[in-house]
Amino acid sequence: MLGDALIAANSPAAMADSSAIATGDSATPQADPSAIPIYDAARDSGTLVVNNLPVPTADEVYNLWVTTKQGATPVYLGRLPSANGQGVDSFDFSLGSKTTVPLGFAMTKDLQGKPVIPNKDNTVLQGPH
């Protein structure tokens, strides 16, 4: 299997794709952002692992929200620290109570200092699906 993967990676088509990425060809499609939340309720300790999150503009930040009850308003957890926008980033979080178990999460992109409850215009990621 490894040999097949190496052959495929060194094929002319793969070489063309990698050279387009290396030269910053804007026609090369970028991977969609995705995230996986990992939460240990016994320790009230969580990590959000994010892939391919675009770098926000200078006046924007990403905010993390969780839903703890079906149909309830999402709870604001806070602003995510700056990410590099390339590959994988991870962010630690806490819900403030060992008895709270999140049903879902949302990540929004908002103006600095102005988090807005997740809606169709500002939600970047939402899960689980």
pLDDT per residue as tens digits for the range 76-125: 999 988 765 567 888 888 888 887 788 899 999 999 999 999 999 999 99
Range(s) within the chain of domains with CATH label 2.60.40:
31-127
pLDDT exceeds cutoff 60 at 34: yes
Non-local (6+) Cβ contacts of 22 within 8 A are none
Q: What ranges make up the beta strands (E) of the chain?
A: 34-40, 45-51, 60-67, 75-79, 88-93, 104-111, 123-127
User: CATH fold of 31-127, please?
Assistant: Immunoglobulin-like (2.60.40)
Q: What is the pTM of this model?
A: 0.70
Non-local (6+) Cβ contacts of 25 within 8 A are none
